[in-house]
Amino acid sequence: QKEVEQNSGPLSVPEGAIASLNCTYSDRVSQSFFWYRQYSGKSPELIMSIYSNGDKEDGRFTAQLNKASQYVSLLIRDSQPSDSATYLCAALTDSWGKLQFGAGTQVVVTP
């Protein structure tokens, strides 16, 4: 089993709707998670980090962590065409900061 798994998509979302992205993880990762956005041909950009159970909101983004079910999700409210990108879920795997990335979910927001 891969340590961090995401659906590759593409996830097609109408403009203005909520995009829901999911990520599951194995016991071998720690309990700190990160969501990155990556536009085609660009480098990953940190959107949010989440370390404890529950929800964390930042603008139109909400990260949710459920340790019992071993998943972390990202909600994008009021999706805009500029949100079209690949979203990478990453989990901290040891104390010095190594991240295990998922393969990424491509999101396409259609006008």
d(CA 47, CA 58): 9
17 binds other proteins (CB under 8 A): no
Q: Which is nearer to other proteins, 15 or 39 (CB)?
A: 39
96 is an interface residue for other proteins by CB under 8 A: yes
Q: Tell me if 82 contacts other proteins by CB under 8 A.
A: no
From CA 33, how far away is CA 10, in angstroms rounded? 22
Number of residues that bind other proteins (CB under 8 A): 20
Question: What are the two backbone dihedrals, phi and then psi, of residue 58, each rounded to the nearest 5 degrees?
Answer: -145, 100
50 lies in the binding site for other proteins (CB under 8 A): no
Across the strands, what pairs with 89? 35
**Binding interface with other proteins (CB under 8 A):** 32, 34, 41-46, 49, 88, 90, 92, 96-99, 101-104
